[in-house]
Amino acid sequence: MISAQQALYIVLSRSERLGVERLPIEKALGRMLAEKIRSDMDTPPFDRSAMDGFAMNSNDRSAAYKVVDDIPAGKMPKRQIGQGECARIMTGAPLPPGADKVVKVEDTQLISRHLIRIKHFDNKPNVSWRGEDVRKGEIVLKAGIKIRAQEVAILATFGKRKVKVFRYPRVGVISTGSELVEPGKKPGPGKIRNSNSFMLLAQLKRLGIDGIYLGIVRDNFRETVKNINKAIKVSDILLLTGGVSVGDYDFVKEAIKKAGIKLHFNKIAVQPGKPTSFGTKGRKMVFGLPGNPVSSLFIFDLLVRPAIDRMVGRKAKQHLGKSILAADFERRHTDREQYVPVIQSDSRVRPIKFHGSAHMQALTKANGLMRIKRGIKRLLKGATVDVRPI
Amino acid sequence: MISAQQALYIVLSRSERLGVERLPIEKALGRMLAEKIRSDMDTPPFDRSAMDGFAMNSNDRSAAYKVVDDIPAGKMPKRQIGQGECARIMTGAPLPPGADKVVKVEDTQLISRHLIRIKHFDNKPNVSWRGEDVRKGEIVLKAGIKIRAQEVAILATFGKRKVKVFRYPRVGVISTGSELVEPGKKPGPGKIRNSNSFMLLAQLKRLGIDGIYLGIVRDNFRETVKNINKAIKVSDILLLTGGVSVGDYDFVKEAIKKAGIKLHFNKIAVQPGKPTSFGTKGRKMVFGLPGNPVSSLFIFDLLVRPAIDRMVGRKAKQHLGKSILAADFERRHTDREQYVPVIQSDSRVRPIKFHGSAHMQALTKANGLMRIKRGIKRLLKGATVDVRPI
């Protein structure tokens, strides 16, 4: 049985960037930029007042200054500023010719309607000089970076209404199992409601992806093969949940093969999540996730999320942080890497009561999964542990 | 001039939960739950096999067992299991009457078509007992919690297709300034492109909110009042950006008042972001954000985000973390609390080159804003500082 690390390596070695699409900048938040962006103009585009005040020449120390112009933001100055003259100017407005300084309004005094005096003459120009932030033609954003709010502002500033980003995968979600009914229905005898699909759609949504829900498929071999074939046509990644254990009724592994998908593994030495399979058909990926909801949630984070990260141009990470164990921990079997639900606060973690991989209720009380590596039997209070926030 | 803390206090004292809406669970991710959820059935709903294997009675130690039934998941068992009998059973299938244990398939050996032998008989029942996770009528989710993927799974499990959550605010965004043109246009002399609106829409989007973009309003008093009046009708929060400084052309403060909005403050002792105003009209809020993009980005995080957090039922936090300063820092003026762009890695921060509040380019290189409190002149390498990730 391969380890979690080997499984991740196999998955990532098959994960490639999906290619590029152009999006309006208001839809590009969180995406990875797929082109470099150059400035199409100097920034500021002109010498610009950084204050509301009066524009004048810094060498002109007159007793009073005649206000010869009035320059709001967005207007070009009408005339030259000479000796003993100034122009009323607003923040963001272009400096008039002849001026190289703005005295802020608080440092001036109005003597008459068109005459001012300076109360306090300092050395600050209070001008943002043309091109001081960015020169025309300069690269303002490098390809490969993540688009945050400030990058959206830069794109707008330099006139990019649409921008090239790495495409998100289309992710199909199928639940398999004759015991499943949809959440809107009351389960009959022996049935339970389908919760995994909605959970996986929520996990995808957290990554910015609107998954494609493809419904429940009964435990019928022909129907399962048919549905996998159909689903793989509309998906870059297909998530199957349920039906990936060892029994007679677990068609999914065979159905995956029958659908022409190359199976790379069908078991991982990890707890929960052992019955996990992974296959590819060309560049398309199929994950057979365990039917137990806790396992399914966890394997998504362990394998599917890093694959998606890489496909969209992000760094594929395990998103594990360090924490301190707040109580001793011991386990019976040590042959698998294990993830245990914990409550983390102030960098200390405490495992919570957990009945096993069907016990989703425990995960609503947890905010992390603590990793215990293969071979480790006992961890003492105070040990440093790896925790993935959930 | 009031401090950042006072400004935040004033804003938060006006921020109330907005009320409740019902959403389909697939749209409820990230929302705060506004009702408590009770289980409508025991979970598991029946005694259920936790393994693929053979169901039998734990007191029955026969040499061989006749396979008298075949129970896939989703099917009810057809008959009672007697002495020397067992039923083939799949993970998730209901335990047949007479059985209280499942021997996993790996621990058994097929002798003939309908006869098995047990290789290894352990004490584990391998059964998930009815109600062991949750009892019918029990509260499974408390009101006020955040809906994550695992809570979506719980909602689906207990048949909630729609769920009550706290409503998100409708947030209108207006840019003011005659110097602005939309990003799709080439700015003429004295003009610049409108980047703040797109940045604010991105900041809203990060919080899960689709803001309402209401365009650019010229520096014309009547037009500004009219637009504020119109905007406040469709918004719970109105964000105005630009035009909130001290000069003649800064109508916005007066226009806010003219529109019947009560102004609570129009300046904060914070750098960048001094020309920030805040008003209310009934339960509606108006923020006059500075025109400089860096200030606008920062004030959104300082004041608007906590207000939204509280309105949607989240805890209003400043989202500051601790970090260690990697180089000495000194500043000239100490009369305002200041936020400085920094690069943070491995819990160490380094301030970056920054020309002031119009220098958005600097923020694309930063991943945090470091807080320097009022009165602090110099911080030495190794000091513990507060940093907000951006």
Going by CATH, does the domain composed of B4-18+168-311 fall within 3.40.50.1260?
A: no
Q: Quick check: B360 and A194 CB within 8 A?
A: no
Instruction: Report whether CATH 2.40.340.10 matches the domain B321-389.
Output: yes
Question: What tokens were used for B91?
Answer: 């993970």
Helix axes A149-157, B196-206, angle to 10 degrees: 160
Closest by CA position to A48, among listed A18, A10, A79, A75: A75
Q: Is B250 on the interface with A (CB under 8 A)?
A: yes
Check if A306 contacts B (Cβ < 8 Å): no
| Assigned CATH for B48-128 | 2.170.190.11
Residues 6+ apart with CB under 8 A from B285: B11, B14, B15, B236, B237, B238, B278, B279, B307
Contact call for B249 and A72, based on CB within 8 A: yes
Instruction: Say whether residue A183 is in contact with chain B using an 8 A CB cutoff.
Output: yes
Alpha-carbon dihedral sign for residues B70, B74, B75, B81: positive
Separation of alpha carbons B197 and B83, rounded Å: 76
Report the DSSP pairing between strands B53-56 and B85-89: antiparallel
Q: Which residue of A has its CA nearest to B105?
A: A247
Q: Strand A48-49 and strand A20-24: pairing?
A: unpaired
Question: B90 in contact with A at a CB cutoff of 8 Å?
Answer: yes
CB contact under 8 Å between B179 and A203, yes or no, is no
Class for domain A20-42+133-166, per CATH?
Answer: alpha beta
Interface touch B155/A183, C-beta < 8 Å: yes
Query: With an 8 Å Cβ cutoff, are A92 and B192 in contact?
Result: yes
Q: Cα separation of B178 and B193, whole Å?
A: 11
Closest CB from A94, A148, A293 relative to B190: A94
Question: What letter does residue A303 receive in the DSSP assignment?
Answer: I
Q: How many other CB atoms are there within 10 angstroms of residue B244's CB atom?
A: 25
Q: Which of residues 68-87 of B touch A (CB under 8 A)?
A: 72-76
A198 interfaces chain B, CB cutoff of 8 Å: yes
Amino acid at A192: I
Give the distance between the most distant pair of CA atoms in chain B: 99
Residues 110-139 of A with CB under 8 A from B: 128, 132-134
Label the pairing between strands B108-112 and B115-118: antiparallel
Q: What CA–CA distances, in Å, run from A311 to A31, A207, A297?
A: 11, 12, 20
Query: Which residue ranges in chain B fall short of pLDDT 50?
Result: 246, 248
Residue A184 to residue B159, Cβ atoms within 8 A: yes
d(CA A76, CA A85): 18
Q: Which ipTM score applies to this complex?
A: 0.90
User: Which residues from A are below 8 Å from B75, CB to CB?
Assistant: 178-179, 190
pLDDT at B248: 47
Q: Does B297 touch chain A (CB under 8 A)?
A: yes
A330: closest CA of chain B, how far (Å): 19
Residue-range domain boundaries for chain A: 4-18+168-311, 20-42+133-166, 48-128, 321-389
Is there a shared CATH topology between the B4-18+168-311 domain and the B48-128 domain?
Answer: no
pLDDT of residue A378: 96
∠ at Cα A175 (A172, A176), nearest 5°? 130
CB contacts of B205 in chain A (<8 Å) are 26, 29
The backbone torsions φ and ψ at residue B156, rounded to the nearest 5 degrees and listed phi first, read -65, -45
Q: Which residues of A touch B361 (CB under 8 A)?
A: 43, 133-134, 140, 154
pLDDT in tens, A36-45: 999 999 988 9
Which residues in chain A come in under a pLDDT of 50?
246, 248
Q: In this predicted model, what pLDDT tens digit does every residue of A134-145 receive, in sequence order?
A: 899 999 999 999
**C-alpha to C-alpha distance for A344 and A313, rounded to whole angstroms:** 30
CA A4 to chain centre: 24
